[in-house]
Amino acid sequence: MNEYRPSKLHGTWALTVRELKKWLKDPIILFMTIIQPVLWMSLLGKAMNISAIFSTSNLPSALAEQIMKRTFGTGDYFSFMAIGMISFTVMFTTMFSGMSIVWDRRLGFLNKVLSTPVSRGAIIFSKVLNSSFRAMFQATLILIIAVLLGLQFGPTFNPLNILGVYAAVFLLSVGLSSLFLALALRSTRQETQMAVVNLINLPLMFASNVFFPASMMPNWLQAIANVNPVSYLTDALRQLTVLEMNLPALMFDFLYLGAFAAVFASIGLMLSWRYLSK
């Protein structure tokens, strides 16, 4: 009998470190994960210069300012958009957690891990943690670059709010990567996984307040945006940074994100017990 028993934490951590090392060691992937959100933010945020629509029209600037504020909550569309980009990045980073388990299966790595006494849950949870860390890292970068590009913080902003940003990003990452992992557990083809991810991701992004406030959408779309967890992350992030904080609304955002993370992480864990071995 082997004298050592792996603790759940030990195994999860070892597998997480493996994923993080893979990420840090591949300069191209690291570069892409940094450059991608920056590109999106600068292109989308600066190209869709909605404030310019008003400043080039004959509207008095005070009125224009008011319209902007009523629509976006802030006079600066770039600030609104830049924070939305964090949610966007979380979505695209977490979807790779599903892809990576398909890869591990194809390369035989998954089978090798399955033949060790490491907890089945650790296999899933390490991938969840890995993509959450990545998403948090990217959120940091986006914030820094957004500030450099002229992000305007709201009146209630406080440096401690950044901790709230991390917490919110972590919660949505856990929920979404658990969802994508659960969908990928039995899959052996990346193509299938890619199709599934695209099918989910684009509606999630557009039926949310990432680019535009949900209150301006048609009712049916608003209904979707109002259950979409991405909207709650975006709202929480905006309240913590560029908007004026509304504490009850912020609490509700966190509650919703927490519930989303808890439900999908449990589903992922349950499915991993059942489906990782056939």
Partner 1 sequence: MAEDVIKAVGLTKVFNKNLVAVDHINFSVKDGEIFGFLGPNGAGKTTTINMLTTILKPTEGQASILGYDIVKQADQVRSVIGVVPQEYTADEDLTGYENIMLCADLYGIPRDVSKKRAAELLELVELTQFKDKKVETYSGGMRRRLELACGLVNRPKVLFLDEPTLGLDVQTRAATWNYIRLLKEEYGMTLFMTTHYLEEADSLCDRIAIIDHGKIVISGRPGDLKKNLGGDVITLTIKENDDVTEVIKSVEKVKEVRRENGSYRVKAELGRVTTPLIIDALRSRGYTVTKLSLTEPTLNDVYLEYTGRSMRDAEESPEAIRSFRMMMRRIRT
- 247 sits near partner 1 (criterion: CB under 8 A): no
The verdict on 114 binding partner 1 (CB under 8 A) reads yes
HSE at residue 90, side-chain half, CA atoms within 13 A, is: 35
Residue 76: DSSP 8-state: -
Query: Which residues in 27-56 contact partner 1 (CB under 8 A)?
Result: none
157 makes contact with partner 1 (CB under 8 A): no
Letters for 258-277 (x = contact with partner 1 by CB under 8 A, - = none) are -------------------x
Structure tokens at 75: 């006079």
- Return the residue of 118, 141, 207, 214 that touches partner 1, per CB under 8 A: 118
Q: Give CA torsion, residues 54, 57, 58, 60, to 10 deg.
A: 10
- List of residues 6+ apart from 138 with CB closer than 8 A: 33, 34, 37, 86, 89, 90, 93
DSSP 101-165: HHHHHHHTHHHHHHTSSS-HHHHHHHHHHHHHHHHHHHHHHHHHHHHHTTPPPPTT--TTHHHHH
75 binds partner 1 (CB under 8 A): no
Whether residue 250 contacts residue 240, with contact meaning beta carbons closer than 8 Å, is answered with yes
Q: Minimum CB separation from partner 1 for residue 1, in Å?
A: 6
Decide: 213 and 72 in contact? Cβ < 8 Å: yes
Shortest distance (Å) from residue 67 CB to partner 1: 50
Toward partner 1, which CB reaches closer, 13 or 206?
13
Stretch that binds partner 1, among 33-41, 57-65, 94-102, 104-112 (CB under 8 A): 104-112
Nearer to partner 1, 25 or 248 (CB): 25
Among 27, 47, 62, 117, indicate the residue that binds partner 1 (CB under 8 A): 117
Does the footprint of partner 1 cover residue 7 (CB under 8 A)? Answer: yes
Nearest-Å Rg of the Cα atoms of the chain is 20
Query: Which of 29, 17, 143 minimizes the C-alpha distance to 96?
Result: 29
Interatomic CA distance for residues 88 and 142, integer angstroms: 11
Contact flag: residue 112 with partner 1 (CB under 8 A): yes
Q: Which is nearer to partner 1, 53 or 99 (CB)?
A: 99
- Closer to partner 1 by Cβ: residue 117 or 248: 117
3-state secondary structure 261-278: HHHHHHHHHHHHHHHCCC
Site string for partner 1, 8-27 (x = CB under 8 A): --xx-xxx--x--xx--xx-
Residue number, 81 or 123, with CB nearest to partner 1: 123
Per CB under 8 A, 254 contacts partner 1: no
3-state DSSP helix/strand/coil % of the chain, to nearest 5: 80, 0, 20
Q: Which of 49, 55, 56, 111 binds partner 1 (CB under 8 A)?
A: 111
Binding site for partner 1 (CB under 8 A): 1-2, 4-7, 10-11, 13-15, 18, 21-22, 25-26, 103, 106-109, 111-118, 190, 277-278
